[in-house]
Amino acid sequence: MSAPKTGEDSRLDQFLAFSAEVTAFGVVALQGTGQAEAYLRTVDGVVGTALVDELLGLHAGAPRAAGNEGGAARGVHLRRTIFGDGRLGPVARNIVKLWYSGVWYELPAAWTESYGPAPKDVTFVVSPSSYVEGLLWTAIGAHPAGAKAPGYGSWAGPPRIPRFAGDRLSPPAAEPVDGAVDAERVPA
């Protein structure tokens, strides 16, 4: 694999910035899946780089959030320009699903009817590792069946749900649960 050129690099950064905002996972966690390049390639391959550039450009140009009001304004802006858009919205939602499940889902029939044929637009798993690295497992405090086993006896402890950006500190259910299996409860 050749090293990305500077231009491509910043495009990946833009894709990560968009993905972080729409998945509620941080950029480090997203890079930590090792799937960023493969997902960007996947989206490019199905809908074309021009559409992806447009989406990422709109995201990069959205007003910066400052305080609660700014955040709300940014949310409205992103909904109107990207998620509410007939052409970009389904692709944006597919990127969220891609990160969470490692699967590209076939776009709605209405999308291909309106915006033209996308021959590679079929439902497919990006790669064996994308299944393993799906964010959904982390989000629900579980692990993919048959991979990334959490260790013998770990099921004795409660699932660990990470705290997401924007989570309230309460209710207690949203608190991250401490790492260890309760040491004292392990049977002798």
- Where on the chain is the footprint of other proteins (CB under 8 A)? 3, 26-29, 31-34, 128-129, 132, 148-154, 157, 179-183, 186-188
Tokens of 114: 């309106």
Question: How far, in whole angstroms, is CA 166 from its chain's centroid?
Answer: 16
Secondary structure letter of residue 25 according to DSSP: -
Q: Which is nearer to other proteins, 27 or 103 (CB)?
A: 27
CB of 83 to other proteins, least distance (A): 25
Q: Which is nearer to other proteins, 115 or 124 (CB)?
A: 124
Q: Which is nearer to other proteins, 31 or 81 (CB)?
A: 31
Q: In whole angstroms, how large is the CA radius of gyration of the chain?
A: 19
**Alpha carbons within 13 A on the beta-carbon side of 94:** 27
CB of 39 to other proteins, least distance (A): 13
Contact status, residue 17 vs residue 59, Cβ threshold 8 Å? yes
Task: Return the bridge partners of 103, or none.
Answer: 125
DSSP, collapsed to helix, strand or coil, labels residue 103 as strand
CB of 175 to other proteins, least distance (A): 16
CB of 123 to other proteins, least distance (A): 22
CB of 107 to other proteins, least distance (A): 28
Q: Which is nearer to other proteins, 28 or 50 (CB)?
A: 28
Q: Which is nearer to other proteins, 32 or 84 (CB)?
A: 32
The Cα–Cα gap between 91 and 105 comes to 10
